[in-house]
Amino acid sequence: MPHTDLSAVEADVRAWFDQYVSTFIGLASAGRTDPAPLLDYFSVPITMTTDAVHVVLASDGALAAALANELQTLRDADYGGSTALDPQVRALNERSALIEVTWARNDSGGREFQRVRVLYLVARTVAGWRTTASAILAP
């Protein structure tokens, strides 16, 4: 059985996640609500949980609608940008990793209006790294 270099997996996932962060923040801070540039960062079906709800998005259309809703919510909040605080990547094996990050969200004036901790489960699929599940962590 070959030995998996987990540090290489973690570096690969970090680079992929950095691209996602840049794409998401770029869209949201420009006030865009079309989620198309984000879709390649997720795998369908995807499961998402918060304190209030657990959903399974089983189609590309459902994922697009959920992402568009998130972008619209940020637009309505006068979103100006986010900082991904202390992202932690933990490779589980050659094909999966956990990413835990605190998002500090600011309005267009630079004032923080939300801080949320998120856990992402990502998998290396035939199409590359994709988020397969996410959970908003309790404060």
* Residue 2, pLDDT above cutoff 70: no
Name, in order, each residue with C-beta under 8 angstroms of 49's C-beta and a sequence gap of 6 or more: 55, 133, 134, 135, 136
Query: Collapsing DSSP states into helix, strand and coil, what is residue 65?
Result: helix
Q: Rg for the chain (alpha carbons), in Å? A: 15
CATH 3.30.465.10 fits 6-136, yes or no: no
Q: How many CA atoms lie within 13 A of 136 on its CB side?
A: 12
Q: Tokens for 103, please give them.
A: 């998002």
What is the per-residue pLDDT across 75-133, written as a single tens digit (0 to 9) for each?
Answer: 999 999 999 999 999 999 999 999 999 999 999 999 999 999 999 999 999 999 999 99
Q: Alpha-carbon dihedral of residues 102, 76, 19, 4, nearest 10 degrees?
A: 40
What was the pLDDT predicted at 7?
A: 95
* Residue 36, pLDDT above cutoff 60: yes
* Average pLDDT along the chain: 95
What was the pLDDT predicted at 51?
A: 92
Q: 90 near 10, Cβ under 8 Å?
A: yes
Q: Tokens for 93, please give them.
A: 């094996």
What was the pLDDT predicted at 12?
A: 97
Residue 4 pLDDT grade (very low, low, confident, very high; cuts 50, 70, 90): confident
Mean pLDDT for 134-138 is 94
* Residue 65, pLDDT above cutoff 90: yes
Mean pLDDT for 56-72 is 97
Q: 118 near 135, Cβ under 8 Å?
A: yes
Q: Tokens for 41, please give them.
A: 């960062």
Question: DSSP letter at 38?
Answer: G
What was the pLDDT predicted at 55?
A: 96
Domain map (residue ranges) of the chain:
6-136
Mean pLDDT for 63-84 is 96
Name the burial class of residue 123, with classes exposed (0-12), middle (13-18) and buried (19+) by CB atoms within 10 angstroms of its CB. middle
